[in-house]
Structure 1
Amino acid sequence: MSFRARLLLVMLLLTLGIQLVASWAVLSAVRSAALEQGKRELDVASGVAVALLEGWGQQLLRNVDLLVDDPRFLAAVDDVLVDTSSRLAAAGTLRQQAARMGADTLLLLDEAGHVMASSQPAAGSGVFVDSWRMPLTTDDAGVVSPSILNGLGYQLVQHPLPPGAGAARLALGFRLDESMASALSGLIGSQAHFDVSVSPNDVAPGQDHQGLSRRLSLYQGELGRIDIVVERSLETLLANYQDVKVSLATIFAVSLGLMLVAVVLIARGVSLPLLRLAGAAKSVGRGEPLDLKRMPRQGEFGLLSSTLLKMQGDLSRREEDMRTRARQDQLTGLGNRQCANEDIEAAIETGRPFTLLRLTINHMRRINDTFGHDFGDRVLSTLAQRLADLPAPKVGAYRLSGDEFLLLLTVARLEPLWLEDTLRGLTRELRLDDSPVSLKVAMGEARFPEHGDEANLLLRRAEIALDRARQLRQAHQCYQRGQDESHLRHLALVRDLQHAAYRGEFSLRYQPQVSALTGRVIGLEALLRWDHPQLGWIPPDEFIELAERSGQIHQLTHWVIDSACAQLASWRDMKLKIRLGINVSAMDLQQPGLIKRVESALDRYGLQGEQLCIELTESALMQSPEMGARKLQALRSMGVELAIDDYGTGYSSLAQLKRMPVQELKIDKSFIMQLIKGSDDDVIVSSTIELAHHLGLQVVAEGVEDQAVADHLAEQGCHVLQGFLIARPMGGEAMTEWLKEKGDVSLRDAANDHHR
């Protein structure tokens, strides 16, 4: 329903309600007043009716006074009472006298009140009515009173007769019947009738009447009861009320019509500006200019119009600011990824060759960890300023995310000299708060149209080249065709890594470690394997690196810890008690929950700490030596043994490692597999073994594949051998059978075997 329709409906309903309430109040007041007035008039009319009856009785009484003094009347009375043969004629005379007096009946009463003669004789019984007795009064002047005669009501007048008249009293009266009631009704202006009952205690039933009535008792005695009822119908009472009702209905109809016209005009006057303002608001929402000619300018609507105009201006400025912010990085002021995409697409539309150079800071995380993120933000801002200050052929500098930036260059390919100068300028030492910071960046290059003709494709291939530069630890790499497949493979592996454990694609392979002197099995190393359902066996070096780069390495480590402890518990139940080594990443060592995870797994499977050996690369330990020492000490306090894996490939020294609570040093297989007596590798291995002995560390040689190498290592003092010569990595069941065949499984220190 539209606003105008709702406004019309509300105003009409309001008007209609007011009119109905006012009409009801007026009509109720008029009706109540009419009824009250009718009640008062009935009270007056009933009193007037009684007074008229009394007055007519008094008039009759005065006539009786004259009648009893008339000798002819007295003679007629004697005739009626003495000569019974002429009673009928005398009765006629009495009737004539009664009629002449305006009465309906005439009675002669004895001293006891019995009727001696009547002008209305009962049928078949003469003039005497023996069954009726009229109460006598002692008033010598006469009295007027209603009474009942033969079941009919009368207004009677009693008057004593002179002595010797033969009768004691004379009673004369007129009937209280319909004719009398009609006469009264005409005089009092109301309907009147008489109710006569022969039982003095009963009220004669009145007629059904819709209106007001008043009942007055005229007589109540041993002969019965006489009531006069004065009534007035509702139609009569409410005659004026009906007239007012018709008038109000007419007024209501006329006012409703006028109000309808007024409401339509008012609604139009209110809704039309509102509709125009609503249209203007929609235009503001769509960003369209406002039509000032159609907008109201006066009053409150004019104020709203000016508000809309101001709102449109504010929205325009805000949208412009948002468009600027949407294309700008808030920290560095460079263009963001959206801005880069738009500029690259615009450059593609020109068709002219250009080059994208994507770069990142290699050690940004270390800067944040060492100096804090505020300092890191200042480093990013400084590098961004250097990028923005680069001269042509640079046409755009952007911050894509984190520590990744992009340069848009209007050249088909980069000149080595320009690249060298740019790299030198970007990586020159920073001094922030007197702290020198050396920057190392890696760059990935992609060219249009050689490497693609879409913005997203060029950005992706520049990222592939950048990843290649970081992997090779080089400053610059240009995209080479065919690298997409490797990149897509890595994306697929990263995607599937998060579900591999749940789907049962991971498994552990176990490779034995034996004493170099006795050949006794003293431990195993758990090696993680991934059997991808589509790609088959994935090399550990590949998916471990991807797990570390994608942040999923912790999930893998948790799975390895739980699975290794479960296998140790299974071997324990088979009476095979042996030590098992598991590899932990540098990122795992920095994770707060690693210690709790190892402790929980040992408790859950009921294992001793000495049955587990945590192997970490020396580069992992050297990333944060102090933190690494604290974590390793916590593991060592649980009895867990610690080993340095792949020793010789990192940048540490034994002096640094001396501070670490480790018990074992594993020489990397790259020094062992091609070991020849007297070679450089031999010098490195022998010196490492000798120094490890002085530091109290056991030495494990990895990658032993030749018996001559094994014998030479034993001669040099190497404690433990591991490699294909002893056994290839096996699954859990195969390793169980292998251990049972060997029979001699021990947790004793291999150094003891060496010195025995």
Structure 2
Amino acid sequence: MTLPTARAWLRSLAGRIVTIFLALLLAVQLAGFFAIRHSIDANARAQLANQLEVGERLLGRLLDQNAQQLAQAATLLAADYGFREAVLSGDRETIRSALDNHGARIGASVVALLELDYTLHAAGSQGSEALQPVRQGLANAAGTRPSTTGQLVLVGERPFQFVVVPFKAPIEMGWVVMGFAVDDKLGRDLHELSGLHMALLSQPIGAPLRVVQSTLAPSVSDQFVLLPHEGLTEFVAGDETIDGRVSLLARSPTGEIRAVLARSVDEAVAPYRRLQAVLLAITLLGAVVFAVGSIWTARRVTRPLRALVDASRRLGQGDFDTPIEPPARDDELNELAVAFDGMREVTRRRLYLDDLTGLPNRGQFSRRLGLALEAGPVAVLMLDLDRIKQVNDKLGYQMGNRLLIQVAERLAGLQAPALGAAMMVARLSGDEFAVLLPGLGRDAAESMAKAVLHALERPVRLGDSMVDVAAGMGLVCAPEHGREPDALLSRAEVAMYEAKRRRAGWLAYDPRFDHGSAATLTLLGEMRRALQRQELRLFVQPKLHLLDGTLVGAEALVRWQHPERGLVPPLEFIPFAEETGFIHELSLWVIDEAARLLARWGPIGLLPRLSVNLSVHDLMKADLVTQLAARLQHHGASPQALCLEITESAIMNDPQRALQTLQALKALGCKLSIDDFGTGYSSYATLRNLPVDELKIDMSFVRAMEKVPKDAMIVRSIIEVAHNLNLSVVAEGVENEAIWQQLATLGCDEAQGWHIGRPMPVESFEAWARERAAAGLSPAAVPGQHRLPA
């Protein structure tokens, strides 16, 4: 393994698992190893100290044993008949001979006979010079009886052991003294019995301490003179640590005798060191086994994780089709892989499948289109339903969803024998669908377009209603119309909207269609800049009271004065503003302008009330009430002079939230009106609970009421219900005198329409209102006679 590879492996999860676990094991093992080592050293030193203490007692026993041997020999000499006769006869030569014989027999270094006053009577031929310290000691202890046990005496620099026994014949006549020079035999005996080394140290009076004999090498024993005088001690000699015990054996008039018992610490712990070596070998072997096991475990853990990482990369690259195989194991990794695959499937469905219809969505369609383009010619059909908005408004969104589902089922059921499973039907957005036809030329694609239109000819049953389904469809073929998925979809959409505009059923893409589409897109892009450049204009359409023709209010409407395109009709930008959510910005602009006008017109009594339309997007905005109140306060306008018109469909989109917003607006003081009433699907029970003041009848009923009796009956019914609920009624779309009179007969309160006046600029409306007030028109005056031209 190279160094970069090793570094990469150490940074991996497997490497970290092995490294951490192995480090923990080694830390525990080393901690245990050093704890055991410390315990062994402490235990060995404790045992060694105990062994030295026992050795000290053993040394005393050996000295006692030697003393007993001397005492027995001295007692035998004192009791010998011949020795006593020689003493009694005064024959000194015989006495000296007897002393030499007995001393030689037991190996004594000194043998002598002392008087009762410890003066020398006779001595052997050797070691008589050693008697002086003994005699001096006995003389110093005058008045006490000498002990028959051995005593150590320093003679020169050499230690001697003496015993003194009484000489009786039959009364005490003197003392028999016998002594040994303490030699290295004592140390050897001690070493054989205890394993300890011994050294004897002497310190004559006035002389330094020196080693007189030792069982250790001079390089070691020479350091004994530096040790404390008594007790345990430890020192280093060369590369060896030694524990020692210093004992004072004797203190005589000639000096002191000390013994040092010692043993090597390394020698004492050597057996334990071998045990430690075995433990270290077991630790290393365990570390190797653990490392191998950790690597195997880490690989067993990381292999499925690596598979999940690879799967994540595939998902990141957009491959949601390849399933994730769970590892063949019954543990958390298997559960993780199963959960991960479930997440992949859910994500795939959300990314590539439409929640409502189950068809592929735009993302999946684009992906499959890209793959089909790599294989050869492709045709794409894109269609948009015509009546989904009416179904949502009149029958409800639930019925609209059912319509989309049935359309999806019809499209998915289409057969293209030449394509088989390669054909794909997708839902691109709300009511837009697309059909992918790989491998088809233009003629075959046109035949398929006709088949799609034919499939949509049959009405769809939604509850008790039968709904005719119609659609506009665009056709593009590759490579004729492009080679990129986005370009093909864009051009199919252009052809589709052109087909809807022409009501042609379906159209193949033509480059000439792009001009109008580009103009529309450019128009949408300029809407936000229109606010900043003050290109928007406020138009006003008046409302009159039906009984006396009094000016009771007006409706504020937005228009766009484009610097290049002129006055842009509302139908060209309002629907797109609603689709993009920009309608809320337009609504706030209208509210701001209306508040400014109310603040100017209110004091002069020009206009009692001004109405402003609110969209569904406005009702869903949490800050609507705050924004509206701030603008009224800024301009000093009264909330009571502002009427807010909301469509039925906007209220029923989210009734609970809409009700909360309406209650807040009502609490602010604004008048509330339901616009386009009769085209939605709210019930009268719902209407009863809404905090509204006014119903506005949709112009689709008002315009035809003089010719269509059913529409007149609907208008009558709405007026009666509204009055029963204490609501005023406004009819819009009043375009002639006959409708005006008919509404007045039915008891309608207010009217609005071209018969009264078209939407006009603010300046024109002011002039119109002032002229009307100056003319002092009577209640019977015909409103149409005083309309301004469109």
Q: Normalising by structure 2, report the TM-score.
A: 0.58
Alpha-carbon distance change, 46 to 504 in structure 1, aligned in 2, over 3 angstroms = farther
Distance 1:93 1:751, change over 3 A: farther
Equivalent residue for 1:707? Answer: none
**Structure 2 portions without partners, runs of 5+:** 1-5, 192-196, 206-227, 236-241, 315-326, 648-673, 706-710, 783-790
Aligned partner of residue 84 in structure 2, secondary structure:
coil
d(CA) in 1 for partners of 2:615 and 2:363?
35
- Which residue identity does 2:558 align to in structure 1? L
Pairing partner for 2:677 from 593, 618, 621 = 621
Q: CA deviation at 1:241?
A: 5.2
Q: After superposition, where does 1:477-496 map in structure 2 within 5 Å?
A: 479=509, 481-494=511-524
1:361 alignment partner, one of 357, 380, 385:
385
Which residue of structure 2 aligns with residue 453 of structure 1? Answer: 482
Q: Distance in 2 between matches of 1:156 and 1:229?
A: 18
Tell me the alpha carbon deviations over residues 66-92 of structure 1, each in whole angstroms, 9 at most, x when there is no partner: 597364698599xxxxxxxxxxxx9x9
Question: What is the SS of the residue equivalent to 2:763?
Answer: coil
Q: Structure 1, residues 648-671: CA drift from partner, whole Å, max 9, x if none? A: 679965436525544544557xxx
Other-structure match for 1:182: 184
Secondary structure of the 1:406 match is strand
CA deviations on 1:177-218 (whole Å, 9 max, x unpaired) are xx51534223333415377899xxxx9647966556667776
What amino acid is aligned across from residue 191 of structure 1 in structure 2? M
CA distance in 1 between partners of 2:166 and 2:772 (Å):
164
Contact map agreement 2:103 2:110 (CA 8 A) in 1: yes
How far did 1:611 drift? 0.6
Instruction: Give the corresponding residue for 2:742.
Output: 691
Correspondence for 2:763: 727
Distance 1:75 1:500, change over 3 A: farther
1:101-133 Cα deviation digits (max 9, x unpaired): 94558685666x89999965999xx99969952
AA at the equivalent of 1:561:
I
SS of the aligned residue for 1:452 comes to coil
Deviations 1:669-688 (A, max 9, x none): xxxxxxxxxxxxxxx52113
Match of 1:442 among 457, 471, 483: 471
SS in 1 for 2:68: helix
Would the aligned equivalents of 1:53 and 1:155 in 2 still touch at CA under 8 Å?
yes
Shift of 1:692: 3.7
Q: Output the CA distance in 2 between the equivalents of 1:615 and 1:162.
A: 152
Distance across 2 between alignment mates of 1:537 and 1:56: 146
Task: Check 1:215–1:494 CA distance in 2 against 1; reply closer, same or farther (3 A cut).
Answer: same
- Where does residue 405 of structure 1 map in the other structure? 433
1:146 to partner: Cα distance: 2.6
Partner of 2:70: 56
- Output the CA distance in 2 between the equivalents of 1:133 and 1:471: 148
Cα deviation for residue 527 of structure 1 reads 4.0
1:426 aligns with 2:456: yes
Structure 2: how far apart are the matches of 1:594 and 1:121?
124
1:337/1:400 contact within 8 Å kept: yes
**1:154-553 equivalence runs, <5 A:** 155-160=161-166, 169-170=174-175, 172=177, 174=179, 180=182, 182-189=184-191, 190-193=197-200, 205=230, 210=235, 211=242, 229=259, 231-234=261-264, 239=267, 242=270, 245=273, 337=362, 341=366, 356-367=380-391, 376-387=400-411, 396=423, 398-401=425-428, 402-407=430-435, 412=442, 423=453, 426-431=456-461, 435-448=464-477, 452-454=481-483, 455-470=485-500, 475=505, 479=509, 481-494=511-524, 509=538, 511=540, 526-528=556-558, 539-553=569-583
1:611 partnered with 2:657: no
Choose 181-190 or 68-77, whichever is displaced more: 68-77
Q: Which residue of 1 aligns with 2:238?
A: none
Change (3 A) 1:132 1:365: farther
Q: Deviations over 1:338-392 (max 9, x none)?
A: 675577668878987x875432332334545666666555533433444456577
How many equivalent pairs are there? Answer: 657
Corresponding residue number in structure 2 for 1:655: 716
Change (3 A) 1:373 1:418: same
Question: Are the equivalent residues in 2 in contact too, given 1:397–1:407 (CA < 8 A)?
Answer: yes
State the alpha-carbon separation in 2 of the partners of residues 598 and 641 from structure 1. Answer: 25
Equivalent position amino acid for 1:233 in 2: R
8 A contact 2:231–2:246 mirrored in 1: no
Partners of 2:20 and 2:751 lie apart in 1 by 96
TM-superposed CA distance for 1:620, in Å, is 3.5
Cα displacement string for residues 544-583 of structure 1 (whole angstroms, at most 9, x for unaligned residues): 12112334434432453355346645877x8888545244
Classify 1:340/1:480 alpha carbon distance in 2 versus 1 (closer, same or farther; 3 Å): same
Shift of 1:624: 0.8
Q: 1:218 to 1:107 in 2, by over 3 A?
A: farther
The 5 Å alignment of 1:136-155 reads: 136-138=143-145, 143-146=148-151, 155=161
How much does 1:287 deviate? 13
**Stretch moving more, 22-31 or 578-587:** 22-31
- The one-letter code matched in structure 2 to 1:360 is D
581 and 421 in structure 1: CA distance in 2 versus 1, 3 angstrom threshold: farther
Kindly provide the CA deviation profile for residues 572-608 of structure 1, in whole angstroms up to 9, marking residues without a partner as x: 7x88885452442564698697996798569867854
Identity of aligned residues (%): 18
Secondary structure of 1:383's counterpart equals helix
1:581 is aligned to 2:610? yes
1:133 to 125, 133, 140: 140
SS in 2 for 1:620: strand
Shift of 1:529: 5.1
In 2, the alpha carbon distance for the partners of 1:644 and 1:592 equals: 26
Per-residue Cα deviation, 1:381-433 (whole angstroms, up to 9, x for no partner): 43344445657799656233343233568574799999889646523223466
Contact 2:109 2:179 survives alignment (8 Å) = yes
How far 1:509 moved relative to its partner? 3.2
Q: Which amino acid aligns with 2:716?
A: A
Q: Hey, what's the Cα distance between the residues in 2 that align with 1:127 and 1:144?
A: 13
Q: Is the 8 A contact 1:106 1:173 kept in 2?
A: yes
Separation in 2 of the partners of 1:751 and 1:625? 40
SS state of the match for residue 472, structure 2?
A: strand
Distance 1:382 1:275 in 2: 49
> Counterparts of 2:185 and 2:446 in 1: how far apart (Å)?
141
Q: 1:271 to 1:631 in 2, by over 3 A?
A: closer
**CA RMSD between the two structures:** 7.1
Report the CA distance shift for 1:693/1:321 in structure 2 as closer, same or farther (over 3 A). Answer: closer
SS where residue 427 of structure 1 aligns?
coil
TM-score normalised by L of structure 1: 0.61
Aligned residues of 1:613 and 1:641 also touching (Cα < 8 A): no
Distance 2:32 2:599 in 1: 91
**1:172: how far off?**
3.0
The 1:134–1:657 alpha-carbon spacing in structure 2 relative to 1, beyond 3 Å, is same
